[in-house]
Amino acid sequence: MISSILSWVWAASGLLLILFVLLHSPKGDGMGGIAASGSSMFTSASSAEATLNRITWSFLAIFLSLAIILSAGWIK
């Protein structure tokens, strides 16, 4: 029973993790930005971006810990 619930939470956290990664704003020009000046490369994140980073890292931690717990078979 608990394994089934954790499996659903794991799947939901994976989908939410994908969503939050896609919500991030692009950071640069990609490989073309290497040759250009890097003045905009190291700007500080806004409050919304910092919150989005925190949420994304939290869902990553949930996803990875549940992946380890479920694959190791610690919960039957």
pLDDT in tens, 39-51: 555 556 688 889 9
Domain count, the chain: 1
**61: pLDDT confidence band, cut at 50, 70 and 90?**
very high
In a domain, 39, yes or no: no
Contacts 24+ apart (CB under 8 A), 22-29: 23/52, 24/49, 24/52, 24/53, 24/56, 25/49
| Structural domain that includes position 1 | 1-23+46-76
Retrieve residue 13's tokens. Answer: 């956290």
According to the model, what pLDDT value does residue 15 have?
A: 98
